[in-house]
Amino acid sequence: MAASSIAIPTPAPTGPLAGLRVLDISTVVAGPFASALLGDLGADVLKVEIPGVGDALRRLAPHKDGVPLWWKVTNRNKKGITLDLRKPDGKELLGRLVAEHDVLVENFRTGTLDEWSITRDWLQAINPRLTILRVTGFGQTGPYRNTPGFARVFEAMSGFTRMCGEEGGTPLHLGYPISDAVGGLFGAIGVLADLYRLKSDPSLRGQEIDCSVTEAMMRTLDFLAIEYDQLGTVRTQSGNRSQYAAPGNIYATSDGKWASIAASTQSIFERFCAALDLRDLLGDPRFVDNPSRVKNWQAIDAIVREAISRLTLDDLRGRLHAHEVGFSPIYDAADIFADPHFIAREAIVSVADDELGDVRMQCVVPRFSETPVSVRCAGPALGQHNDETYGALGLTAQEIGRLRAAGTI
């Protein structure tokens, strides 16, 4: 049953986007991630879900006592209502909400909102300065514009998955839909760019922002396209080994732990050799510079692997830190929670939640010196702010009850 009141008061938004109002009608991860980023920076975000059903993200693991944990983070710093946009009454209420918001975020399949008569012209007749972010797998144009998909599709078609996995083996998907987060990041940047444009002239009309998640992943793989264009090289998987610097890999220590190391410049390589008592490598013509080391990566990797295998993780850490060589143990979530740097930075913060009590999640990134940001609340229960939101539109308790009974909210 949808909640209708807030048990824990939510602090007022702060941050550089305080005062910005975002209406989020998107689902699952990419679109909601974009609006969550805006909410992290202080925007007032209203999340819209289908009555009785809610966002599909609610049904994705992990859960605790039936409460969706992923949902709590992706939809943090938002208020939540239910509204069926396909119903005439639902569309009318959407219009009233659009009139009061600066940004609309949606990620329906291309053309879906138009089929419901929720077109750009209709939206901007209500609010000419409305910025509309449309997040889809392949964009609003092109042969694939109506193709449904999910993160693994976008990652595979961007070239990313082909670069992951052991050399000569099967391409590898990551354990998290990273393309959804990347698409959300690009979407949020697009919104900010249009808001900056609108700031210069009050007569300007808000833009449609066409954000393809696949193209966002392609853009993230910086050198992939130009390398193929200029050299004809098709980059494929190489396991944990760096393809552009050597040594660069994940190495096992004598106490069964793992370390990620990359000697990406000549000066770092020289300090690395000093740290591991491998100064003889500096005179070896196979390893004279980085291109030579990349060419002979198997030889140098074997030497480094053997040297590290004789050290504990703490021994290795001490040596590399003493010589200012970049190094990282391979962390899991428990390691992150225990790390003194992350504790000092409050990289994991505690957030009050109506359903679970205090929950911990990542802090807001980045931080601002003059307009502090915070995680004000975790993702709302289904329809948690219906009474508050629709009451603010002027609906009476009887009207809200009628709409709820009709399945409109």
Catalytic positions, written as ranges = 180
Helix ranges (H only) for 222-339 are 224-231, 266-275, 290-295, 297-308, 313-322, 333-338
The contacts of residue 404 (CB under 8 Å, 6+ apart) are 2, 51, 386
2 contacts: CB under 8 Å, gap ≥ 6: 51, 52, 82, 381, 382, 383, 384, 386, 404
Beta bridge partner(s), residue 63: 68
CB 44 within 8 Å of CB 20: yes
Under 8 Å between Cβ of 318 and 253: no
Is residue 274 within 8 A of residue 323, CB to CB? The reply is: yes
Residue 103 is given by DSSP the state: E
Locate all alpha helices (DSSP H) within 82-212, ordered by sequence.
Answer: 88-98, 112-115, 120-126, 151-158, 178-199
Residue 385: closest CA among 45, 59, 94, 58? 45
- Two tokens at 204? 């300007």
Say whether 378 sits in a helix, a strand or coil: coil
Residues pairing with 195 in the sheet: none
